[in-house]
A and B are shown apart, each in its own frame.
Chain A
Amino acid sequence: MAGSLFIFNSDGMLKKLFINFLLVAAVVAVLDFALGKVLRHFYFRESSGLHYRTTYSMEKADADILIFGSSRANHHYVPEVFADSLGLTFYNTGRDGNGIFYQAALLKSVLKRYTPKVIILDYAGDFGKGRQVYDNLSSLLPYYQSHPEIRQEVNLRSPYESVKLLSGIYPYNSQLLTIAVGNLDMNKKRKSDNKGYVPLETEHPVVKEYFNSLIQQPVDSNKIESLREFVRVAKASGTRFVVVYSPLYQEHKRYWEIEICETICKEAGVPFWDYSRDSFFVQQPDLYYDPVHLNHKGALIFSKQIASRMRDVLH
């Protein structure tokens, strides 16, 4: 039976394995540390694009009006309209593909530095279960170490996120080319944002089937809780705070999501402006880029309407 109990008698195998494992781990740690530092340096050196806009939103934005939300926020609120109409500075922190967790984390970072006069949350109404919003929290990984206030949200990605983030490279996973392009200034398109707002110029064919696929799904309580927290934190900050559901090309069958949003706002005494069924926007193809995004023309009209209502709120 000699050697049958591996833990107690493995003829030096365990020691050999352990030493070699340590050797590989040490080399990986050195490479990871060095490469992580390089990536971090160049990530925060970017001066345009998504990375830059997130960094700016979290660490530098000091505008009077801040827009929060996903791609619908980013493409629906035109800075000049708000600046001209309200006489206030403006920044759009909306980011494509990012949901309420990202927005809640961003809000905490902003409020740690200052309190904007106005916060508009454009809520995309996504309470359904699905991994995508969690996965997209990867956009906050570079800020995890330096911004403890966002950890609650980032940790929703997985129970092991804090362990994974011991790696220097992991926060920049899959970002190598984007960082390179951002630093080489090759992609002129990245310059096109205007105080965070990125206009959508092209009109796309409207895909009606899109809406039929968006019927009731199981509800994700994390998302509801996160929206509730956003509303609570924003309200408590003393800012003028409004939640908006911006226009859609076609009425959809997810009223239940809008109702949840409306209820949360009502409970907190926060205005909720629902444009999802606004006859001015519904079925107007020339105002849309695709079924859920206004083009620049649509965004201008919509921004004027919001700015006008906002003026009433402020005065």
Chain B
Amino acid sequence: MVFTSVNFILFFAAVIVLYFSAPLKWRWLVLLVASYFFYINIKPVFAILLAAVTASTYVFTRLMDQTRKESRKNVYKVINIILVLLPLFFFKYFAVINNSLIAGLQGWGIHWPLPEIELFLPVGISFYTFMAIGYTIDVFNEETPAEKHPGIVALFISFFPLILSGPIERAGNMLPQFRNPVNPDYDKVVKGLRFMLWGFFMKLVVADRIGIYVDAVYHNIPNHNGTTLLAAFFLYPFQVYADLGGYSLVAIGVAGILGIKVMDNFRRPFFAATMAEFWRRWHMSLITWLTDYVYTPISFALRQYKLWGIVYSLMITFMISGIWHAASLTFVAWGLLQGIYLSVEALTNKQRANMEKKYKLANRGWYIFLSCLITFILFGISQVFARSANLQDAFQVLGKIVTEPGALFIGAPSILIFSILGISMVMLKDFTDEYYPGRFLLFENRNKPVRVMAYSLVIVLILLIGVFDGGEFIYFQF
């Protein structure tokens, strides 16, 4: 049941009615049942894992709460983190490690006793595992009290708008909202619906349309020239943005309608002038999670190395982020590249600041544009590794872009034309939000007819050029 399906719309309508009809003290139960129903609908057996992670997290956070001894609390924390990570590691990495061992040992004539296996990754496991770990650490650090109500903890970990692809929320933000539900608020409902509508537009009109072209190119790299691969190079970051960004908007909108405020996940990422700024705007819930629970502890431990400590911390953090995405060399390369970009920026930060000051570049339009473009290209290079099936393919793509110009593969012209139209609309909205906040508003225009026309036209555009047969959301695979 993906967000863009009719089933989800019907399901959500039923949830709204049941949720707001229920007495305040039972609303958590409505959401919990709805969340498990939503998740079971994908594959019932996965709900057992979800329940196990929830049970472990509840028990160990409660134990932490009841313990005064710091060392014992630490033991509980570590045990729970290991326990909740076990399923993630098993489903995500066991098959890769096992199959690599078979292949590797075969070369040495050694027989590995296990057969080759392929495991089906329970959808959303990375996201709810991160939420459970975050909650455990927050309780350990006494930033959040351990929740006594097991149902509220279960709801936090399984909350249906977030479970499949985030945003990766924090207990400190979510638990009080689940504990103290609010009555429906007109403005929140309308805001939620706006988020949902724009999210659907991003997914159906932009992401899935670009996906047709990018998939066609990446499925047949040897037969495409550098120009076509360059087009796919520029399109793919927009696809991911529209896909995960669109998903996040729908998730935030759905939660918002229920009166639950969820953190933003994207903030106009392609208007970032540096990679550091980019990562403050892209997949923000993941990056703040990594900052709080990975980067900060590591950089604190390495603080004696000063600037180099930061570099090491960045490298380790992004390598973990890469491996979190997938147990493959392409994602290791992806993480490595991000680490390198950010490290170089950190090491040259002072010089760049001096240069910008000396030549008064900071407010120059061309300089900002160039910086944004370079940031986009750097991110695009890393995305080639994310999109390619293996390292060989990724290097082939990058090599051909530089060495093999030729005629652009167009296929059905409507694919590229609709993609460009969709990207232009998303970028225009982001541009006005970035540089002219509060102006040129459509969804939030004071004039009601303008608002109504804006909603209507977006719906009509979705009907007209949206891709209704598109695939699932990209981040479901992680």
Contacts and interface: CB of A to CB of B under 8 A. Distances in A.
Contacts of A10: 20, 183-184
A173 B413 CA distance: 15
A7 B17 contact: yes
A135 interface: yes
Nearest to B9: A160
A314 interface: no
A1 B24 contact: yes
A10 B186 CA distance: 10
A167 B461 CA distance: 13
Interface-central residue, B184, B186, B452, B464, by most chain A CB under 10 Å = B464
Contact of B414 (A16, A17, A178): A178
Interface of A: 1, 3-7, 10, 13, 16-17, 20, 23-24, 27-28, 31-32, 35, 131, 135, 138, 158-160, 163-164, 167, 169-170, 172-174, 176-178
Interface residues of B, number: 31
Contacts of B414: 174, 176-178
B6 interface: yes
A232 B118 CA distance: 41
Given A10-B184, A23-B452, A24-B455, A173 B466 contact: yes
B456 A28 contact: yes
A167 B453 contact: no
Interface in B1-38: 6, 17, 20-21, 23-24
Contact of A27 (B186, B190, B456, B468): B456
B449 to A, nearest CB: 9
A154 B185 CA distance: 41
Interface string B456-475: 11011001111111000000
Given A24-B455, A27-B452, A4 B23 contact: yes
Given A24-B455, A169-B463, A7 B469 contact: no
B417 interface: yes
Contact of B464 (A17, A35, A160, A164): A35
B456 A173 contact: no
B189 A160 contact: no
Contacts of A158: 6
A167 B463 contact: yes
Contacts of B23: 1, 4-5
A169 B418 CA distance: 16
B465 A27 contact: no
Nearest to B183: A3
B459 A28 contact: yes
B15 to A, nearest CB: 12
A176 B464 contact: yes
Contact of B418 (A17, A131, A138, A174): A174
10 contacts: A4-B24, A4-B183, A5-B20, A17-B190, A20-B190, A31-B456, A31-B457, A163-B6, A176-B464, A177-B418
A10 to B, nearest CB: 6
Interface in B289-314: none
B465 A6 contact: no
A164 B4 CA distance: 13
A174 B465 contact: yes
Nearest to B457: A31
Interface in B188-221: 189-190
Given A7-B20, A173-B468, A16 B186 contact: yes
Interface string B407-431: 0000011100110000000000000
Nearest to A134: B469
A176 B460 contact: no
Contacts of B183: 3-4, 6, 10
A129 to B, nearest CB: 15
In the A-B complex, the 7 residue pairs with the closest CB atoms = A6-B20, A135-B469, A177-B414, A27-B456, A169-B463, A160-B6, A7-B21
A131 B20 contact: no
Nearest to B16: A6
B419 to A, nearest CB: 12
A169 B460 contact: yes
A6 to B, nearest CB: 3
B469 A131 contact: yes
Interface string B175-186: 000000001111
A170 B463 contact: yes
A167 B185 CA distance: 31
A172 to B, nearest CB: 8
Contacts of A164: 6
Nearest to A175: B414
B391 to A, nearest CB: 19
B148 to A, nearest CB: 23
A20 B449 CA distance: 11
Contacts of B418: 174, 177
A138 B459 CA distance: 19
Nearest to A24: B455
Contacts of A35: 460, 464
